[in-house]
C-alpha cells in the first residue's frame, strides 16, 4: 500500500488542480496524517484515506468522490463546496466541520459525528445517515431528499423548514426533541 502511495506521489502534480500545497499532499498520502494542511481544490477521487488524520485541514472545493474516509478524524475540517458524492464516511469524525455547499449525494455517513457541523446548502440526497449525530448542526437550505435518517440525532439542529420531510425516518430525533417514526415498519 505504501509503495503504491509513494509511487503515485511522483505523478500527482500533473493531475491535480492548483490551490493545494504539494508538501501537504505528499505528507497526507505518505503518512495518512495532515492536520491543518492546505489542500484546497485537491483531486482525491477514489482515494483510500481510511483513518486519516485531517483535523483542521482546508479541503474546500476538493474532489473526494467515491473515496474511503472510514473512521477518519476530520474535526473542524473545511470541506465547503467539496464533491463527496458516493464517499464512504462510515464513523468519521466531522465535529465542527464546514460542509456548507458540499455535494454528498449517495454518501455513506453511518455513525458519522457531525455535531456542530455546518451543512448549510449541502446536498445530502440519498445519503445514509443511520445513527449519525447532527446535534447543534446548521442545516439551512440543506437537501435531505431520499436520505436515510434512521436513529439519527438532529437535536438542537438549526434549520429553516423541514429539510428531512422527504427522507426516511425511524427513531429519528428531531431538533425539538420529538422522535419521528414515520417510516418504521412492524417486525
Ordered by start, the domain boundaries in the chain are 1-181
Whole-structure pTM value: 0.88
**Tens digits of per-residue pLDDT, 143-154?**
999 999 999 999
Contact 56, 77 (CB under 8 A): yes
Nearest to 116 by CA among 148, 100, 94: 94
So what's the pLDDT on residue 18?
Answer: 56
Is the pLDDT at 73 greater than 90? The verdict is yes
So what's the pLDDT on residue 185?
Answer: 83
Nearest to 22 by CA among 32, 35, 12: 12
**Tens digits of per-residue pLDDT, 81-131?**
999 999 999 999 999 999 999 999 999 999 999 999 999 999 999 999 999
Contact 95, 76 (CB under 8 A): yes
Q: Enter the DSSP assignment of 175.
A: T
Q: Of 100 and 165, which is predicted with more confidence?
A: 100
So what's the pLDDT on residue 10?
Answer: 40
So what's the pLDDT on residue 15?
Answer: 37
Helix 22-31, helix 2-9: angle, nearest 10 = 170
Write out the CATH class of domain 1-181. mainly beta
∠ CA(134), CA(82), CA(161), 5° rounding?
40
29 SS3 class: helix
**Tens digits of per-residue pLDDT, 16-66?**
445 778 999 999 999 999 999 999 999 999 999 999 999 999 999 999 999
Q: How far apart are CA 8 and CA 29, in angstroms?
A: 9
Mean pLDDT over residues 166-185, rounded?
94
Amino acid at each position: 500500500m505504501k509503495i503504491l502511495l509513494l509511487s503515485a506521489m511522483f505523478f500527482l502534480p500533473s493531475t491535480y488542480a492548483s490551490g493545494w500545497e504539494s508538501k501537504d499532499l505528499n505528507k497526507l498520502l505518505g503518512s495518512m496524517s495532515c492536520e491543518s494542511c492546505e489542500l484546497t481544490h485537491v483531486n482525491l477521487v477514489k482515494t483510500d484515506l481510511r483513518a486519516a488524520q485531517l483535523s483542521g485541514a482546508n479541503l474546500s472545493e476538493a474532489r473526494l468522490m467515491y473515496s474511503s474516509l472510514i473512521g477518519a478524524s476530520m474535526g473542524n475540517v473545511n470541506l465547503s463546496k467539496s464533491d463527496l458524492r458516493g464517499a464512504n464516511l462510515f464513523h468519521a469524525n466531522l465535529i465542527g466541520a464546514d460542509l456548507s455547499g458540499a455535494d454528498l449525494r449517495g454518501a455513506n455517513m453511518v455513525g458519522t459525528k457531525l455535531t456542530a457541523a455546518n451543512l448549510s446548502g449541502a446536498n445530502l440526497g440519498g445519503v445514509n445517515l443511520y445513527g449519525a449525530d447532527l446535534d447543534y448542526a446548521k442545516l439551512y437550505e440543506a437537501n435531505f431528499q431520499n436520505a436515510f435518517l434512521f436513529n439519527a440525532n438532529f437535536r438542537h439542529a438549526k434549520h429553516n423548514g423541514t429539510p428531512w420531510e422527504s427522507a426516511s425516518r425511524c427513531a429519528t430525533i428531531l431538533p425539538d426533541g420529538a422522535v419521528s417514526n414515520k417510516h418504521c415498519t412492524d417486525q
